[in-house]
Structure 1
Amino acid sequence: MKLDQVAVSAGLIRKVLLAALIGAGFILVLEPTHTENVPILAAFALWFTHLFLAAALFLTGVLVLQRFRCPDPIPAIASGLVLPIPFALGSLVLDYGFGNADDDLQAAGTPVSVFLNEIVTITPLALAVAVAMTFLLRRSPSDESALQTEGQPKEFSPSLKQLIHSVPSALGDDIIHLHAQDHYVEIVTTEGRALLSEQFGDCLDKLENLNGLQCHRSHWISLEHVDSVSRKGSAYTCKMSNGDLVPVSRRRYAELRDKVDAAFTNARRQ
């Protein structure tokens, strides 16, 4: 599972809460000097809040970088490196809020000095949280539903790049059609198009579980993006959602027509 598939969901929040609870308990077992004079329940709450805040900030960074289509693993690395800065600010607020401000920090002098000292102090914890979150998200293939947005199907659907590794990440996962061109394959998605150094037959094998059809010896289309199917004389064409016209072979026309009609009928029933 790639980290760039992360999406906010109730399942993901539960994961973060559970990890923060376990982490807070582990830290208390180590008896850190920072909370040695704090009642155990207050100390547990303080460490839990720290860990949950760090995890939330890390995931926020990953999600923001996803919006800019940064390829994996850049979102995880960049978020982990930047994490100590916002986490230091949140940590200071929490420490003062719990009445547990560090004497060494209070003696540091100016607010800027206090903030810089806090960054140095919490950086190991911030990086540990970033590594733990990355490991947690990458090592949970049995719980893919926790990384899906609400309302999506529960079954796991691999990304387009997982199916065809040479597909640029910027093209996203919503494929419209494929076209064989000599020794290359042109792939068209809702985000753009690109030429891949792939065999057309190999691509068809990798896409066999998607809702698509090889409508011509050198063309494959996604049935979800078919706008219309038409016949003009002896030529058959399929108009896709992006306006592209794809040829349809005579022997595939009836099958495609039936599938499109069935999809239209099901849509009307829903």
Structure 2
Amino acid sequence: MLVTDLSNHELNPKHYFYSVGFVLALLFALLDRNAEQLEFPLLLGIWLLQGLLPVTLLILCQQHLQHMPALQQRAAWLKLLLCGLSASLLFAGPALLLDVALGLDPRYQGWQNWAGAWWREVLAVAPLITVAWIAANAPWLFGFRLIRPRQSPDVPHIQPLAASGQAVTPTSSLPLTADFSSLQRQLPPERRGELLYLKSELHYLLVVTSQGRSLILCNLKDAIAELPQNSGFSPHRSYWVSIIAVQKFSRQGRQGQLLLQDGSKVPVSRTQLPMVTALLQTRLP
């Protein structure tokens, strides 16, 4: 797996992808041959819709595909390719309707004419959307660092606290540090340390250790399977937390929140709240 360093701040892939979509929309609006027929603000609005809507569909498709058992062990390139093709099939309909509404395409009569026009639209947009999606993900696939790394200050080990403010004492069956050697190998050497928590970020995985943050191409479920049993828990479907990293637990209505030793705050979902409450109570001295 390939790594993006997040030592300065957490890179949100959604912000990155929408930024790419905005830049492409602006570029196509400037180069559009219909500029003489439409005012530029309207033209820009059309291209923003046709640029940001595919990004949304691509993100949704990627999130869905990564949970399909048949694809979880497949190569990242294949997932991106299937995602691009799936999003193209979904986007072709709205794109065709928009062109017809603006008079940029003839109005079609009959189901067969619409089906043929839709298929031609698919063939037109699929190469662009698929290639753009793969290119947007290329920095992660090739392991390029998108953020200039800086040396992170040492994070002192803080004895975790439970909801009552008392120290959480790991039992003898729990390791003092979670052994995640397979994940360690995917991190930059300077970011390898005591595992604090994991967070699912689209088809990427945010790995937070005592030495910093890294984003890798990995599935949360697969990563959890590599960790020792009883070394942590999932307070939310998008998170895994090391039990020894918990400093404080607080309830917030029907949900909860964990404060970790590095200052991170992790949500506790309503469905996981009873389990987390019981788990932390058993760690009281």
- With the length of structure 2 as denominator, give the TM-score of the two structures: 0.47
Structure with greater contact order relative to length (CA < 8 Å, sep ≥ 6)? 2
- With the length of structure 1 as denominator, give the TM-score of the two structures: 0.49
Larger relative helix fraction: 1
